[in-house]
């Protein structure tokens, strides 16, 4: 039907062309098959990893930390939200030049210089390598919008909603509350922080640290499928776990009492500390240390602020003097000497000792403070006027035995109290064993001597203790021999206010105090505080609540006298111990006693009436 | 079977008359079944893949692409069967009309065309948009083969070669201006394929090859260098970025990079519904140009190799039909169609696998799209027709 055409390939010529084309086709298909095999079978793993990396982005949803409340529900710490500009350094471009350019652009965004950006990164690497670096907090929404639109230009940069601790009462109870901070590399390896990740916030000090596991909460996780532009795809939420907010912590602290204590100390302008505690339960109503600090400074301290905080070892605002102080206490220690002497039969309550103003032991003379002579005094009177000679004598009588040390040890002097806050110093209770050991090692020039015990009997010499330990000792006197566990944690509540857990710290130890001896000591303290020529009668004489109190004036080498006051209230069935100390505050009645008065006024909501000052020196 | 040849209406039915089967009546008796299976297998796999992979693409209608592709498949198969029954040699006589229609339809797109993403390629019809250049691939082969047969004795070999080239490159140029670089390349290849089987000397192909190389150099290197780019920026980038995908990782090479990742991630047996690369927009145009990456990721090497095997099967049968053809026109048409399918397959799959530049060439019978699916089925139908006619001629029978 067609005219056969000689130009058309026929027969073998057609076969050649078909064969050539067939060969080409075989080659092309071979290329495709080989490439497919190479991609999918030989290096499929790599591509699969790349694809997985491609498709999801994990957003950690930070759980708000629980609030910290005072015992009446007053908020001491809560959270405010803040937008933080964060950088994931792992996603910075490779190559120094590209990285530099990226950092410069970032710096512009965060209003930081290149040097500041680099320093922020370096500091973060030191704390927790791999965690996102927070370049700037409290950024504005305009920046958020800008970043969202230009996400691809800023790889690894995200604006994260973070919670920042907020302190409605400012620096109030700063030492008790403590602060939060980014978890450190060391902490990450510790068991309590097992589930945490670099960049997480944990309590670093105070109650924030001790009760971290309740306050912390559990972060939520949103794993979002993202498309090629890094935008979430509709319905592409793979996992969404809402964060569980931390539980609220209710403290035993009473904000009003705390405020009163801090005011009282701050008004002196001198370093000092105070503690007020329930003697039956160990609940701390107020505890503070002056100077204090603004906890928000610790969130992002500038170098200047760090310098300020650590400027002076003596002033050191971060030190909690109530628990970490190491002081001699002066005469408030005398209750320990009194109980030790009475219980060991060294003296009876009515046995008088002649106080001629000084006690001579060998070549040494121990004088009353101010050189006052009190004449013959028995226990109660000796406490009222704070006769040093009386207690020097008891110290001398007990110097060869370990009786004073045993009682001091029983009452908690020079040993940890079991406080539920991380900061606590053990202190030092001087004893024969201690000094003789030092002497043997050649660290001191003399072994234990009568003078050491005489000094200790009046709370002087090598004694190192702190207001909290003394509060435990006074509490034991007040409650008849029970050593309570001081604590600030009252209960854990959920966000709706339901109590999840009440803390019961119980008592640590118990020992017997003869009620008659306890009574005589309390009588002496009551007289000292509120009767006649008691050492603090000038301060507490007009206070309507009967109390038992003791002044103390501690001599510290190289310092002016340190003022102490310890009060058990109400007398005769005390419930609360309150102790204050003011470094270089002079006599006990001069600064510490007024501070305690101010605290008691807040506790009992009663003012003291003016009295004519007739209190004598110790 | 020879009984049929002697059977006439006037003779008395023989006692052992064999009844004419249904397949015979539909003209399907001499279809090339492997070719049919390959084509229908591909479109079925396409519909299956689209049904699974595009469920979230059109909000509120998860089966949008599946349903449409199924309709196109049915229309295409009907078209193929119809084409099977037509004697393809008729098209030789209609070559001028076909050629005119081809050029006119491609040109009319400029006037009435529906603009999408900066290029006008298709007409918007009530139910779907018709892209004339897709059908044009077949029309060009049919018309050009006719011209080659017709003009085989006129002019010198060089004159003939130049004439064929001009006839083929005219519509190719129109398509290029739409702009649709990929399809215009298919037109060029179809032209060369028809010339190849039309007996154009090897030397001419050498010259054409050299000319093409020079042209590519001119377009890609020299023209941009002297400030008169022949291609649009994105076209230029697409063509060159596959040579260095990492360098263009977030630009033009991005799509290709993602496509390669998707395919590789499929590994041996695929990721099924976990195929996130192609489900989450990382791979663009996943229902059309990059559907092979979808198959690679979802069904792994087994799925992708199966699809490739079907293409190999189709090409083998097409090449076989070239050798069976009863006439030269059939050889040219079958050869043109075979090479066109091979070229499109290789360019598209190669693009998906990152070894060919990105040109908007659909994967025949896999990519979503009515024009492409129906036009390809019609082309397969023409191949079937050539096969049927060859069988019938050998038996001394003509078409009905």
- DSSP string computed for A145-197: HHHHHTGGGSTTEEEEEEEEEE-TTTTTTHHHH--EEEPPHHHHTSGGGTT--
Task: pLDDT band for B11, please (50, 70, 90 cuts).
Answer: low
Nearest Cβ partner for A7 among B199, B346, B354: B199
- Chain A residue numbers with beta carbons less than 8 Å from the beta carbon of B354 are 35
Inside any domain, residue B205 = no
Nearest Cβ partner for A28 among B197, B281, B342: B342
Nearest Cβ partner for B261 among A5, A9, A50: A50
Closest residue in chain A to residue B268, using alpha carbons only: A41
Q: Domain range for residue B383?
A: 32-200+232-394
CA distances A433 to A333, A394, A449, A458, Å, are: 20, 20, 11, 20
- Do A189 and A214 share a structural domain? yes
- Do A562 and A577 share a structural domain? yes
* Residue in A1, A15, A25, A238 to test binding to B, most B beta-carbons within 10 Å: A25
Q: Which of A227-231, A292-296, A524-528 has maximum average pLDDT?
A: A524-528
User: Hey, what are B372's tokens?
Assistant: 């492409």
Instruction: Quote the percentage of chain B above a pLDDT of 90.
Output: 36
Instruction: Please name the residues in contact with A552: beta carbons below 8 A apart, sequence gap of 6 or more.
Output: A329, A330, A331, A332, A333, A459, A563, A564, A565, A566, A581, A588, A592, A618
Contact A221, A239 (CB under 8 A): yes
CA distances B302 to A41, B54, B150, B271, B311, Å, are: 10, 21, 46, 12, 14
The conformation of residue A589, written as its DSSP 8-state character, comes to I
Distance from CA of A490 to the nearest CA of B (A): 51
Contact B295, B385 (CB under 8 A): no
- Do A338 and A207 share a structural domain? no
User: What's the number of domains chain A is made of?
Assistant: 2
Average of per-residue pLDDT across B308-318: 94
- Do A209 and A98 share a structural domain? yes
Inside any domain, residue A372 = yes
> Is the Cβ of B280 closer than 8 Å to some Cβ of chain A?
yes
User: Hey, what are B384's tokens?
Assistant: 């079937």
> Is the Cβ of B357 closer than 8 Å to some Cβ of chain A?
no
As a whole number of angstroms, the distance between CA A564 and CA A168 comes to 31
- Do A435 and A319 share a structural domain? yes
Inside any domain, residue B5 = no
- Do A311 and A244 share a structural domain? no
- Do A367 and A471 share a structural domain? yes
- Chain B residue numbers with beta carbons less than 8 Å from the beta carbon of A231 are none
Inside any domain, residue B323 = yes
As a whole number of angstroms, the distance between CA A395 and CA A26 comes to 110
- 3-class DSSP state for residue A361? strand
Buried b (16+ CB within 10 A) or exposed e, B160-182: bbeebbebbebbbebbbebbbbb
Q: Does residue A614 surpass a pLDDT of 50?
A: no
Phi, psi (5° rounding) for residue A307? -55, -40
> Is the Cβ of B282 closer than 8 Å to some Cβ of chain A?
yes
CA distances B386 to B314, B323, B374, B393, Å, are: 15, 10, 18, 10
Give residue for tokens 């566990």: A485
Domain end residue (candidates: A225, A251, A277): A251
As a whole number of angstroms, the distance between CA A518 and CA A524 comes to 10
The pLDDT, as a whole number, for residue A616 is 41
Inside any domain, residue B191 = yes
The pLDDT, as a whole number, for residue A490 is 93
User: Hey, what are B24's tokens?
Assistant: 């015979």
Buried b (16+ CB within 10 A) or exposed e, A422-460: bbbbebebbbbebbeebeeeeeeeeebebbbbbbbbbbb
- Do A265 and A228 share a structural domain? no
CA distances A119 to A18, A112, A125, A134, A182, Å, are: 71, 11, 10, 11, 17
The pLDDT, as a whole number, for residue A360 is 87
User: Hey, what are A121's tokens?
Assistant: 């990164």
- Do A129 and A159 share a structural domain? yes
Pairing of strands A499-502, A562-569: unpaired
Distance from CA of B252 to the nearest CA of A (A): 14
Give residue for tokens 């971290």: A212
Domain end residue (candidates: A208, A234, A251): A251
Q: Which of B108-112, B146-150, B216-220 has maximum average pLDDT?
A: B146-150
Inside any domain, residue A36 = no
Phi/psi zone of residue A578: left (φ > 0), alpha (ψ -120 to 50 degrees), beta? beta
- Do A270 and A137 share a structural domain? no
> Is the Cβ of B11 closer than 8 Å to some Cβ of chain A?
no
- Chain A residue numbers with beta carbons less than 8 Å from the beta carbon of B153 are 5, 7
- Span of A92-96, A106-110, A473-477, A609-613 with lowest mean pLDDT: A609-613
Report which of A174, A172, A171 is spatially closest to residue A258, judged by C-alpha positions.
A172
Pairing of strands A68-69, A248-251: parallel
As a whole number of angstroms, the distance between CA B33 and CA A188 comes to 68
CATH number (domain holding residue A170): 3.90.1310.10
Q: Domain range for residue A282?
A: 255-604
- Do A359 and A240 share a structural domain? no
* B113 compared with B101, residue with greater pLDDT: B101
Q: Does residue B228 surpass a pLDDT of 70?
A: no
Inside any domain, residue B284 = yes
Task: pLDDT band for B313, please (50, 70, 90 cuts).
Answer: very high
- Span of A251-265, A385-399, B17-31 with lowest mean pLDDT: B17-31
Positive/negative CA dihedral, A289, A291, A297, A301: negative
As a whole number of angstroms, the distance between CA B345 and CA B314 comes to 11
As a whole number of angstroms, the distance between CA A87 and CA A84 comes to 10
- Do A541 and A392 share a structural domain? yes
The pLDDT, as a whole number, for residue A236 is 57
CA distances A16 to A11, B15, B192, B320, Å, are: 9, 49, 17, 13
Task: pLDDT band for A517, please (50, 70, 90 cuts).
Answer: very high
Inside any domain, residue B120 = yes
* B172 compared with B112, residue with greater pLDDT: B172
Pairing of strands A133-136, A157-166: unpaired
Average of per-residue pLDDT across B74-82: 94
Determine the Cα angle at A78 with ends A317 and A194, to 5°: 85
Inside any domain, residue A471 = yes
Nearest Cβ partner for B346 among A32, A39, A226: A32
User: Hey, what are A288's tokens?
Assistant: 């503070």
A519 burial level (CB within 10 Å; 0-12, 13-18, 19+): middle
- Chain B residue numbers with beta carbons less than 8 Å from the beta carbon of A19 are none
Average of per-residue pLDDT across B220-244: 67
Q: Does residue B396 surpass a pLDDT of 50?
A: no
The pLDDT, as a whole number, for residue A612 is 44
Task: pLDDT band for B1, please (50, 70, 90 cuts).
Answer: very low
- Chain A residue numbers with beta carbons less than 8 Å from the beta carbon of B305 are 33, 36
User: Hey, what are B323's tokens?
Assistant: 């050798």
Q: Does residue B3 surpass a pLDDT of 70?
A: no
Report which of A537, A534, A521 is spatially closest to residue A597, judged by C-alpha positions.
A537
8 Å CB contact of A41 and B353:
no
- 3-class DSSP state for residue A488? coil
Q: pLDDT tens across A407-458, in order?
A: 999 999 999 999 999 888 899 999 999 999 999 998 888 899 988 999 999 9
Q: Does residue B240 surpass a pLDDT of 70?
A: no
3-state DSSP helix/strand/coil percent for chain A, to nearest 5?
40, 20, 40
Task: pLDDT band for B127, please (50, 70, 90 cuts).
Answer: low
User: Hey, what are A439's tokens?
Assistant: 């002497």
8 Å CB contact of A2 and B280:
no
The pLDDT, as a whole number, for residue A194 is 79
Instruction: Please name the residues in contact with B316: beta carbons below 8 A apart, sequence gap of 6 or more.
Output: B34
Positive/negative CA dihedral, A342, A343, A345, A346: negative
* A178 compared with B247, residue with greater pLDDT: A178
Work out the number of other CB atoms within 10 angstroms of the CB of residue B136: 27
- Chain A residue numbers with beta carbons less than 8 Å from the beta carbon of B350 are 31-32, 35
Query: Rounded mean pLDDT of chain B?
Result: 82
Give residue for tokens 């930070």: A62
Contact A596, A589 (CB under 8 A): no
CA distances A157 to A102, A105, A119, A570, Å, are: 10, 11, 17, 61
The pLDDT, as a whole number, for residue A190 is 85
The pLDDT, as a whole number, for residue A9 is 61
Q: Does residue A44 surpass a pLDDT of 50?
A: yes
Inside any domain, residue B212 = no
Give residue for tokens 């064969």: A19
As a whole number of angstroms, the distance between CA A566 and CA A276 comes to 10
- Chain A residue numbers with beta carbons less than 8 Å from the beta carbon of B349 are 32
Distance from CA of B158 to the nearest CA of A (A): 13
Instruction: Quote the percentage of chain A above a pLDDT of 70.
Output: 88
Inside any domain, residue B348 = yes
User: What's the number of domains chain B is made of?
Assistant: 1
Domain end residue (candidates: A217, A251, A285): A251
Q: pLDDT tens across A255-297, in order?
A: 999 999 999 999 988 899 999 999 999 999 999 998 888 888 7
Average of per-residue pLDDT across A80-108: 78
CATH number (domain holding residue A407): 3.40.710.10
């Amino acid at each position: 039907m067609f005219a056969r055409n000689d130009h058309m390939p026929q027969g073998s010529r057609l076969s050649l062309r078909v064969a050539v084309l067939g060969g080409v086709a075989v080659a092309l298909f071979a290329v495709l098959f080989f490439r497919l095999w190479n991609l999918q079978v030989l290096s499929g793993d790599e591509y699969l990893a790349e694809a997985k990396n491609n498709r999801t982005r994990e957003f950690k949803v930070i759980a708000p930390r629980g609030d910290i409340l005072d015992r009446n529900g007053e908020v001491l710490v809560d959270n405010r939200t803040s937008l933080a500009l964060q950088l994931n350094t792992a996603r910075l471009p490779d190559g120094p030049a590209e990285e530099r350019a990226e950092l410069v652009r970032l710096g512009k965004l965060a209003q930081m210089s290149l040097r500041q950006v680099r320093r922020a990164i370096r500091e973060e690497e030191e704390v927790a390598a791999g965690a996102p670096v927070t370049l700037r907090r409290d950024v504005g929404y305009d920046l958020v919008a800008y970043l969202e639109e230009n996400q691809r230009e800023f790889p690894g940069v995200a604006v994260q909603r973070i919670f920042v601790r907020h302190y409605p009462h400012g620096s109030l109870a700063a030492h008790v509350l403590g602060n939060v901070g980014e978890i450190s590399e060391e902490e990450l390896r510790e068991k309590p922080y097992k589930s945490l990740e670099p960049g997480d916030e944990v309590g670093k000090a105070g109650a924030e640290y001790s009760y971290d596991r309740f306050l912390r909460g559990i972060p939520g996780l949103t794993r979002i499928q993202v498309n090629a532009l890094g935008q979430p795809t509709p319905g592409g939420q793979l996992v969404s776990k809402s964060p569980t907010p931390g539980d609220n912590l209710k403290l035993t602290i009473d904000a009003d009492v705390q405020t009163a204590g801090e005011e009282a100390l701050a008004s002196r302008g001198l370093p000092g500390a105070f503690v007020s505690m329930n003697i039956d339960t160990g609940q701390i109503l107020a505890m503070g240390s002056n100077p204090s600090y603004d906890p928000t400074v610790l969130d992002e301290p500038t170098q200047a602020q760090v310098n300020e905080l650590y400027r002076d070892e003596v002033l050191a605002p971060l030190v909690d003097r109530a628990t970490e102080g190491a002081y001699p206490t002066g005469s408030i220690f005398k209750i320990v000497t009194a109980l030790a002497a009475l219980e060991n039969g060294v003296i009876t309550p009515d046995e008088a000792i002649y106080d001629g103003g000084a006690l001579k032991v060998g070549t040494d003379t121990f004088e009353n403070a101010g050189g006052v002579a009190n004449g013959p005094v028995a226990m109660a009177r000796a406490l009222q006027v704070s006769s040093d000679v009386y207690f020097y004598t008891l110290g001398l009588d007990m110097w060869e035995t370990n009786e004073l040390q045993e009682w001091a040890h029983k009452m908690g002097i020079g040993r940890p109290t079991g406080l539920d806050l991380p900061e606590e110093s053990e202190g030092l209770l001087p004893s024969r064993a201690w000094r003789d050991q030092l002497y043997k090692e050649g660290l001191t020039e003399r072994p234990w001597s009568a003078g050491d015990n005489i000094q200790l009997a009046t709370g002087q010499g090598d004694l190192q203790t702190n207001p909290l330990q003394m509060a435990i000792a006074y509490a034991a006197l007040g409650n008849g021999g029970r050593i309570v566990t001081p604590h600030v944690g009252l209960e854990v509540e959920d966000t709706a206010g339901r109590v999840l857990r009440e803390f019961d710290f119980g008592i640590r130890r118990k020992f017997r105090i003869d009620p008659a001896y306890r009574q005589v000591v309390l009588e002496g303290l009551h007289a000292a505080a509120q009767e006649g020529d008691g050492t603090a009668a000038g301060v507490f004489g007009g206070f309507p609540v009967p109390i038992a109190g003791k002044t103390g004036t501690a001599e510290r080498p190289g310092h002016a006298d340190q003022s102490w006051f310890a009060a058990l209230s109400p007398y005769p069935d005390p419930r609360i111990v309150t102790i204050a100390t003011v470094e270089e505050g002079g006599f006990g009645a001069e600064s510490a006693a007024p501070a305690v008065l101010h605290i008691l006024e807040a506790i009992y909501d009663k003012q003291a009436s003016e009295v004519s000052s007739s209190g004598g020196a110790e | 079977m020879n009984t049929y040849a002697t059977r006439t209406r006037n003779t008395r039915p023989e006692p052992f008359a064999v009844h004419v089967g249904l397949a015979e009546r539909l003209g399907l008796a001499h279809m090339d079944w492997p070719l049919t299976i390959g084509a229908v297998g591909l479109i079925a796999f396409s519909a299956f893949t689209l049904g699974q992979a595009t469920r979230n693409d059109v909000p509120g209608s998860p089966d949008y692409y599946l349903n449409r592709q199924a309709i196109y498949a049915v229309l295409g198969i009907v078209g193929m069967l119809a084409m099977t029954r037509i004697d393809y040699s008729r098209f030789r006589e209609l070559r001028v009309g076909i050629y005119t229609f081809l050029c006119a339809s491609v040109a009319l797109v400029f006037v009435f065309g529906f603009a999408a993403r900066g290029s006008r390629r298709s007409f918007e019809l009530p139910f779907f948009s018709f892209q004339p250049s897709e059908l044009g691939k077949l029309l060009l082969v049919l018309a050009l083969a006719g011209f080659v047969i017709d003009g085989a004795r006129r002019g010198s070999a060089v004159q003939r070669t130049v004439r064929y080239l001009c006839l083929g490159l005219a519509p190719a140029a129109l398509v290029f201006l739409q702009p649709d670089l990929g399809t215009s390349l298919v037109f060029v290849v179809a032209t060369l394929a028809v010339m190849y089987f039309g007996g154009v000397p090897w030397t001419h192909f050498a010259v054409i090859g050299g000319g093409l190389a020079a042209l590519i150099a001119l377009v890609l290197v020299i023209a941009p260098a002297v400030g008169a780019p022949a291609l649009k920026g994105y076209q230029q980038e697409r063509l060159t970025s596959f040579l260095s995908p990492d360098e263009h990782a977030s630009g033009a090479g991005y799509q290709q990079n993602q496509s390669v990742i998707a395919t590789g991630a499929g590994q041996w047996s695929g990721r099924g519904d976990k195929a996130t690369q192609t489900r989450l927009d990382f791979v663009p145009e996943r229902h059309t140009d990059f559907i092979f990456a979808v198959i690679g990721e979802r069904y792994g090497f087994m799925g992708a190799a199966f699809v490739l095997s079907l293409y190999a099967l189709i090409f083998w049968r097409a090449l076989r039909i070239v050798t069976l053809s009863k006439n030269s026109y059939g050889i040219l048409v079958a050869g043109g169609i075979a090479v066109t399918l091979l070229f499109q397959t290789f360019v598209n799959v190669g693009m998906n696998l990152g070894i060919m530049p990105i040109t908007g060439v659909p994967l025949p019978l896999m990519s979503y799209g009515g024009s492409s699916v129906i036009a390809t089925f019609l082309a397969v139908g023409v191949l079937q027709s050539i096969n049927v006619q060859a069988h019938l001629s050998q038996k001394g029978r003509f078409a009905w």
